[in-house]
């Protein structure tokens, strides 16, 4: 009997957890919404909206971040204390200079894999960030991979 109850609880939790896990499509959609907002409203209004933790560009573990052409954080949806930080010198938990990789992406943008703390769990997880370049700015949004701790 206990085994049956344990199995039911496990299945219930698995489905509920999977339902809230962000997908690459979710991240790309949020990124497209943020860049469309930027094109319509400009830097000041866009950065204010991104930096607002209750704004439209923060959804669970998904958030938008923006780097200028020098690699400085100019907007960050998960933690505004990152604003002004130079990402060129940042390393992930495995020593990867992921900021340099982001800054080396060409005009077509792309994606970068690294490990980073999930803002919802605080755990370091594998992350893929999707990047779009507009007006010298790198807009990004990433997903945390399930079971992907370091």
Domain count, the chain: 1
Residue 6 belongs to some domain of the structure: no
Residue 149 belongs to some domain of the structure: no
The rounded distance, in Å, linking the Cα atoms of 71 and 104 is 10
Residue 62 belongs to some domain of the structure: yes
Q: What is the pLDDT along the chain (150 residues), one digit of tens a residue?
A: 544 444 333 333 333 344 458 999 999 999 999 999 999 999 999 999 999 999 999 999 999 999 999 999 999 999 999 999 999 999 999 999 999 999 999 889 999 999 999 988 999 999 999 999 999 999 999 999 976 555
Residue 51 belongs to some domain of the structure: yes
DSSP for residue 145: P
Residue 50 belongs to some domain of the structure: yes
> What ranges in 21-125 are assigned the alpha helix state H?
24-51, 98-103
Residue 65 belongs to some domain of the structure: yes
pTM (two decimals): 0.84
CA neighbor of 112 nearest in space, from 101, 123, 125: 101
CATH of residue 75: 3.30.450.20
The rounded distance, in Å, linking the Cα atoms of 39 and 135 is 10
3-state secondary structure of 132: strand
CB atoms near residue 111 (< 10 Å): 17
User: What domain range includes position 97?
Assistant: 22-144
Residue 121 belongs to some domain of the structure: yes
């Amino acid at each position: 009997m206990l085994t049956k109850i344990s199995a039911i609880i496990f299945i219930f939790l698995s489905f509920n957890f999977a339902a809230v896990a962000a997908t690459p499509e979710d991240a790309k959609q949020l990124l497209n919404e943020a860049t469309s907002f930027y094109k319509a409203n400009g830097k000041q209004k866009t950065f204010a909206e991104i930096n607002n933790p209750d704004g439209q560009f923060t959804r669970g573990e998904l958030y938008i971040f923006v780097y200028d052409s020098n690699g400085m954080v100019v907007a960050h949806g998960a933690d505004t204390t990152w604003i002004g930080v130079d990402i060129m010198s940042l390393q992930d938990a495995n020593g990867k200079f992921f900021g340099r990789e982001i800054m080396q992406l060409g005009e077509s943008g792309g994606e970068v894999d690294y490990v980073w703390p999930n803002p919802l769990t605080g755990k370091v997880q594998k992350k893929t960030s999707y990047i779009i370049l507009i007006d010298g700015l790198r807009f990004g949004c990433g997903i945390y991979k399930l079971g992907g701790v370091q």
